[in-house]
Amino acid sequence: MNILVTGGAGFIGSHFIESLLTTYPKDRVYNLDALTYAAHPDTVEYLQKLFPDRYAFLRGDIATVDIRSLLKEKKIDAIVNFAAESHVDRSILEPDAFVRTNVVGAENLVRQAREVGEIRFVHVSTDEVYGSLGKTDPKSIESNHLDPNSPYAASKAAADLLLLACARTYNQDISITRCTNNYGPFQFPEKLLPLLIANALENKSIPVYGDGMQVRDWIFVKDHCRGIDAVLRKGKAGEIYNISADEEKPNLEVIKTVLTLLGKPHSLITHVGDRPAHDRRYGLDATKISRELGWKPVYTFEQGIQATIDWYLRNETWWKKVRDKSYYKYYEENYAKKFAKTPEVTV
């Protein structure tokens, strides 16, 4: 297959490209990425060295780029769309940027794919579109109504609905995946686990929103990539597939587990004011993808978190360089000042 991957310089996208080209020696990948703050330019060079004849990088913004010539000339069989603004904190401050990339960008891609011809389209979405679950609620299934609580989640839900409408209205070959919290090597340290590991290694404070008992469903990035590939190869048009390793854990438990594995004191934990409209629990039921496409996770949380920690220990230069990028200045100047002024929570 000839595949266009958008957002392939990001955390999950770069893992997907490496997995795909390693598994399928005849596939070719064209990686389209705008190289915004959360992208990893080092991974572009890394993938080019690994697959010099089957990988090509193209810089572009999915909201404005014209890909029709590329789709025709390279005879693209499928598009896998990872490109997105994805951090909830930033979406609270700048929702317009999330609408632009996540909604307008998705529409721009799928419209051009439709104009060119028979091109499969796989859109990578999120469990956050379902909204928050109660403590005893069953896990979210694909037919649940959407109830997003953040501008980020709302933008992803809007894109999902738009793409499903295109599948029905224009008979386009479009599938959607919705996944739980990813973790693993190369993750940008605005996310919980890499920020936690980096801070712990330098004996810095670990900020925890509220009481830290928000429950998230965790999956190792390599398992997620295998799930997306299963949908790309075998998924049905117009269908949604949840991808989950069934590893629900409170954030505070995850943080304490990592600190213990690193031999760091739990006293590094600092409770700060909670995020506005912070979802209490996510959990996905992945029965459909398992039953219909034969996908199942390989990594337990214990295996995945140890592999992640080991990678960060071996790659200190990488995460220190990435950590110093603009997000941290942005966080301190904007989010920390606006939303972390409420009283600290004690447990």
Residue 160 is part of which domain span? 2-184+219-246+278-299
Which listed residue (33, 128, 217, 229) is catalytic?
128
What pLDDT score was predicted for residue 278?
83
Residue 66 a catalytic site member: no
In a domain, 339, yes or no: no
Which residue intervals of the chain are DSSP H helices?
11-23, 41-50, 68-73, 88-93, 95-98, 106-116, 151-169, 192-201, 221-234, 251-262, 287-293, 301-314, 316-323, 326-330, 336-339
Least confident of 102-106, 123-127, 207-211, 284-288: 207-211
What's the whole-number mean pLDDT along residues 86-108? 92
Residue 346 pLDDT grade (very low, low, confident, very high; cuts 50, 70, 90): very low
What pLDDT score was predicted for residue 45?
87
In a domain, 294, yes or no: yes
Rounded Cα–Cα distance for residues 167 and 161 (Å): 10
CATH number, residue 224: 3.40.50.720
Rounded Cα–Cα distance for residues 261 and 257 (Å): 6
pTM: 0.90
Sheet holding 2-6, edge to edge: 55-59, 28-33, 2-6, 78-81, 120-126, 174-179, 240-243
Residue 195 pLDDT grade (very low, low, confident, very high; cuts 50, 70, 90): confident
What pLDDT score was predicted for residue 324?
65
Residue 332: CB partners within 8 Å, gap ≥ 6?
A: none
Rounded Cα–Cα distance for residues 162 and 140 (Å): 20
- Ramachandran quadrant class, 277 (left: phi over 0; alpha: psi -120 to 50; beta: rest): left
What's the whole-number mean pLDDT along residues 90-115? 95
Which listed residue (30, 130, 152, 183) is catalytic?
152
How many CB atoms lie under 10 A from the CB of residue 138?
10
Residue 246 a catalytic site member: no
In a domain, 272, yes or no: no
In a domain, 341, yes or no: no
Q: CA torsion sign, 111 to 113 to 119 to 123? A: negative
Which listed residue (27, 85, 89, 127) is catalytic?
127
Least confident of 172-176, 192-196, 327-331: 327-331
Higher pLDDT, 198 or 288: 288
Residue 282 a catalytic site member: no
Selection from 159, 199, 215, 175 nearest residue 312 by Cα: 199
In a domain, 160, yes or no: yes
What pLDDT score was predicted for residue 190?
67
In a domain, 192, yes or no: no
In a domain, 286, yes or no: yes
In a domain, 209, yes or no: no
Rounded Cα–Cα distance for residues 16 and 346 (Å): 40
Summarised one tens digit per residue, pLDDT across range 218-258 is: 999 999 999 999 999 999 999 999 999 999 999 999 999 99
Count of structural domains within the chain: 1
